[in-house]
Structure 1
Amino acid sequence: MSAHRKRPDAPPSGLSAQSLLSPGQIALALTVIGTVAAALAVHLLTGFGPGPLQWAQAGMFALIVLYLAVIAFKFAMVLGSGKSTAMRFAPGSLETFPDHELPKYTVLVPLYREAAVVPGLVRRLSAMDYPESKLEILLLVEAEDAETREALAAVDLGRAFRTVVVPDTAPKTKPKACNVGLARATGELCVIFDAEDRPDPDQLRKAALAFRMLPERVVCVQAELQYWNPWTNWLTRCFSAEYATNFSLTLHGMDRHRLAIPLGGTSNHFRIDALRALGGWDPFNVTEDADLGIRIARRGWDVRMIVSVTEEEANSRLGNWIRQRSRWIKGYLQTWLVHSRRPLRLWRELGTRKTLAIHLTLGFSTVTTLINPLMWAMTLSYFVFGPQWMEPLFPPAVLYGGMFAMIAGNALMCYALMLGCLKRGLYAAVRAMLTVPLYWALMSVAAYKALGQLVRPSKRHFWELTDHGLVESDEAPEVAHVR
């Protein structure tokens, strides 16, 4: 792959989240709804065929199967992480890649209303262990954001820094800003960092060495993300455990099985020519990172995990957390719908294992978040009011299968989170995982908010900002509006 500079191509036709559903998906949805409605009408008029109760029982049985499949998949990835093939770097290994042989690196940093974090951001990026002559740091600032541009003008930027103004055009999203930066990048490799990120100082060297050692079909390596403030409150304990489980266990399990990895929003490193060939990021997708990970897999390329950490701040306020989580869930639904538009083509490109993993990771997992309140309510009702009113409605297999799925599934996921805490050394957070169903209830609230925004065209691509810098750290207190 060459490293010549050019503008990124457009994302592949039919793989943009600009529209919610394709004509085929709309036709399929209408067909299913029409078929069920017609069958119910026939039953009500003639008594022939399944009635409403039978349809409800079948639907509940399908949800139980889906619930168990998602839990089994997630737990299998956690258990499989012990044999992860993620890139690890022995002491002294980075010295085998001398400075004069290092490739030029472009760092893309999208900024919006983040004047307060500029001094700390510049300080952290300036401390990166990479030759300044081979480093290009593009600070991507929205045209309307005069405050952030003034803050950048007030600090001493090194020779590697360059401010890039993002045009004031729709959609106003992080991926659109990254595409503007990608068009101006001159490096062979590039990485995305958010304004509050604290990457390991040697992370660029590790990624460069990983690309040198890995085959050319590996076009992206993902570093691990973790939170530096797990002890702020109960919410940050749960959030930190979730990140620990995802980045230190689940993604490592997916790496081991060579599944399509939904990238994190930051600290993903790319071969820049491959990124341009993919069309860059979809500016209409609010989890552009996850979408790009799937498009990489569909192209026949690979993503690998590397053992290097970038620290972020966990949201410690409920409103911020709901806004951030609802955007993530909305983006996961967008990505799932986009890549499900032509299911046979997806299956031909990825095969059965990877295709099922995408559905279980992005789509079905979100569905379980939406149905959790129903499952909890039915189980609670069983224990409070007894089975008398439920048994006539549902066959024993459906009723008790649902209860088993809820109880066993929640127990397994609690255990997985405990393993994540132990993996990251968050020992004091293990006990908090006994209360994590309350955290999942908050996720369901965010999921319904996401679903509501997704069906509204005016909110479908809306990028809700979340405040950071809410907790004092070893650095000066800062407030960042992170995309």
Structure 2
Amino acid sequence: MTDVDTREFSARTLFSRGQRITLTVIAAAIAIPLGLNLTLGIGPEPLWWGRMAIAATVVLYLAVIGFKLAMIAGSGRSSALHFDPGSLTVIADAALPPYTVLVPLYREATVLPTLVSRLSALDYPRDRLQILLLIEADDAETLDAAVTCATDPRFEIVVIPDSVPKTKPKACNIGLARAVGEFCVIYDAEDRPDPDQLRKAALAFRLSPQRVVCVQAELQYWNPWTNWLTRCFAAEYATNFSMTLHGMDRYRLAIPLGGTSNHFRTDALRALGGWDPYNVTEDADLGIRIARRGWDVRMMVSVTEEEANARLGNWLRQRSRWIKGYLQTWLVHSRRPYRLWREVGTRRSLAVHLTLGFATVTTLVNPVMWAMTILYLIVGPQPLEPLFPKYNLYGGVIAMLLGNALMCYTLMLGCVRRGLFAAVRVMLTIPLYWGLMSLAAYKALIQLLRPSKRHYWELTEHGLVRSEDTVETHNV
């Protein structure tokens, strides 16, 4: 049961009525003065609007960069929950609470045997562990594989009806209705969680106040050395989960959850209405809804390994879905900005905008700024000089040179933090990776604006890399 109207936070509708009115007013406030100037010579000239657009973009860049640097700096005094193996004996096996593991699957027959083996190895009392394999009704191959290999009584196969939206959060909601555990966790098909992760999460909840309703474990990739793309991807994850989210935890900001290894109090999750089936980053959305409810998310030092995408097309599909979901989540929680501010406060509401919305906007704007830089290098400053008075020029130089250098350096720090030493030098090429992110961002924006693709879940193919191909022999 739920005690919240989930329609209020649903991404089923792109814009609320208030947002449509606001966008119309803003468009009119720009178009009317421009039209008056072009036709009658009244009001600010187009050059003024261009300067203001550049100035706003520079401020946005500096704000996003400053926020990321502040979170990374704050991670040095992280308050993330950390438990030594010896402390896990505090709760005897007989006193451990029942736990439910939700595993949404679609076209994962290839990796299912390995997944079942990994989950079977979880160090948790057998009579207190429920593992729900959530398999779509039209996925006969995965269903057959599950029947064959998931014979342990802890595993239950839950068939998800073939209906729209066909998304991971819809499957998780159906699984949540079947969950018997006091706590529950999400794992993906390729996940390799620490065997003692459930024990650590149970202890974390035992030692935390009731307002802590979610504990997020760290994610990292087990195949960083497959190619250049996986090195960059692993560095990004290392920086995000080992530094940025630890900084957000320290400052008690609203944490956009990762798609896996987030552990919940089951009753609190039901009170929130579960996941939004129309949001393709249901995890990030849930993290914000938890904060709006006045509850907390904490980071926990326990690792779940995943498979990094080693193929560009696969990576673009996954990344565009993430960006599309971040935009969905930002729009949902910006429907009533004053209410968001009232519920979470100034720091948290600013963090929501900087994390979900403004950072994505800069990814979309990047190609424009790069194009102007290339134009400057080819033809000189004359064509662009009118757009860059001193305040734009100095701010833009700081954002482009110092900002990019610092972002590159933070990724190097993330590599060092995770022991990915051979990837440090690869970070000198990270602007190429940012270019790919902009490509994915435009794909995400196009899909978001198309009703037929707005809630479309682009499937990520797993099992593309063999474990024996991932060993790095030059990590010095």
Sort the TM-score into its range (normalised by shorter chain). Answer: over 0.9
1-structure distance, mates of 2:356, 2:307? 24
AA aligned opposite 1:456: R
What are the residue-to-residue correspondences of 1:9-28 with 2, within 5 Å? Answer: 11-28=5-22
2-structure distance, mates of 1:423, 1:233? 20
1:403 has 2:394 as partner: no
1:460 has 2:431 as partner: no
Deviates more, 1:381-390 or 1:292-301: 381-390
2-structure distance, mates of 1:396, 1:297? 40
1:40 aligned residue (5, 25, 34): 34
2-structure distance, mates of 1:212, 1:474? 39
AA aligned opposite 1:272: T
Q: Do the aligned residues in 2 keep the contact of 1:17 with 1:282 (CA within 8 Å)?
A: yes
Give me the TM-score of the superposition, normalised by structure 2. Answer: 0.97
1-structure distance, mates of 2:95, 2:239? 36
- Who is 2:386 aligned against? 392
AA aligned opposite 2:377: F
1:475 offset after TM fit, Å?
10
CA deviations over 1:103-157 (Å, ceiling 9, x no partner): 0000000011111112111111100000000000000011111111111111252
Q: Do the aligned residues in 1 keep the contact of 2:217 with 2:302 (CA within 8 Å)?
A: yes
- Who is 2:190 aligned against? 196
1:60 has 2:54 as partner: yes
1-structure distance, mates of 2:109, 2:53? 51
AA aligned opposite 2:55: F
2-structure distance, mates of 1:329, 1:15? 18
- Who is 1:447 aligned against? 441
Q: Do the aligned residues in 2 keep the contact of 1:245 with 1:417 (CA within 8 Å)?
A: yes
AA aligned opposite 1:175: P
AA aligned opposite 2:359: S
2-structure distance, mates of 1:397, 1:403? 10
1:180 has 2:180 as partner: no
AA aligned opposite 1:106: T
1:301 aligned residue (295, 301, 307): 295
- Who is 1:51 aligned against? 45
1:384 offset after TM fit, Å?
3.0
Instruction: Give the percent of matched residue pairs that are identical in Structure 1 and Structure 2.
Output: 71
Q: Do the aligned residues in 2 keep the contact of 1:375 with 1:406 (CA within 8 Å)?
A: no
1:9 offset after TM fit, Å?
5.6
1:252 has 2:249 as partner: no
- Who is 1:77 aligned against? 71
AA aligned opposite 1:135: L
AA aligned opposite 1:385: V
1:169 offset after TM fit, Å?
1.1
Q: Secondary structure at the match of 1:116?
A: coil
1:394 offset after TM fit, Å?
2.9
- Who is 2:411 aligned against? 417
AA aligned opposite 1:113: R
Q: Secondary structure at the match of 2:302?
A: strand
Q: Secondary structure at the match of 1:222?
A: strand
1:319 has 2:322 as partner: no
Q: Do the aligned residues in 1 keep the contact of 2:54 with 2:387 (CA within 8 Å)?
A: no
AA aligned opposite 2:282: E
Distance 1:349 1:198, change over 3 A: same
RMSD: 1.3
- Who is 2:323 aligned against? 329
1:325 offset after TM fit, Å?
0.2
- Who is 1:469 aligned against? 463
Q: Do the aligned residues in 1 keep the contact of 2:88 with 2:199 (CA within 8 Å)?
A: yes
Q: Secondary structure at the match of 2:270?
A: helix
- Who is 1:481 aligned against? none
1:397 offset after TM fit, Å?
2.1
1:391 offset after TM fit, Å?
1.1
- In structure 2, list runs of 5 or more residues that go unmatched: 471-476
1:474 offset after TM fit, Å?
4.9
1:228 offset after TM fit, Å?
0.4
Q: Secondary structure at the match of 2:34?
A: helix
AA aligned opposite 1:459: K
2-structure distance, mates of 1:164, 1:262? 28
1:469 offset after TM fit, Å?
1.1
Q: Do the aligned residues in 2 keep the contact of 1:105 with 1:188 (CA within 8 Å)?
A: yes
- In structure 1, list runs of 5 or more residues that go unmatched: 1-6, 477-483
1:121 aligned residue (115, 132, 143): 115
1:162 offset after TM fit, Å?
0.5
Give me the TM-score of the superposition, normalised by structure 1. Answer: 0.95
1:377 offset after TM fit, Å?
1.9
Deviates more, 1:33-42 or 1:263-272: 33-42
1:11 offset after TM fit, Å?
4.9
Q: Do the aligned residues in 2 keep the contact of 1:375 with 1:402 (CA within 8 Å)?
A: no
Distance 1:83 1:202, change over 3 A: same
Q: Do the aligned residues in 1 keep the contact of 2:185 with 2:261 (CA within 8 Å)?
A: yes
- Who is 1:479 aligned against? none
AA aligned opposite 2:434: W
AA aligned opposite 1:255: D
Q: Do the aligned residues in 1 keep the contact of 2:340 with 2:349 (CA within 8 Å)?
A: yes
AA aligned opposite 2:254: A
Q: Secondary structure at the match of 1:388?
A: coil
1-structure distance, mates of 2:10, 2:401? 38
AA aligned opposite 1:432: V
Q: Secondary structure at the match of 1:266?
A: coil
Deviates more, 1:369-378 or 1:171-180: 369-378
- Who is 1:284 aligned against? 278
- How many residues end up aligned between the 2 structures? 470
What are the residue-to-residue correspondences of 1:146-225 with 2, within 5 Å? Answer: 146-225=140-219
1:46 offset after TM fit, Å?
2.8
AA aligned opposite 2:56: A
AA aligned opposite 1:464: E
Deviates more, 1:49-58 or 1:420-429: 49-58
- Who is 2:359 aligned against? 365
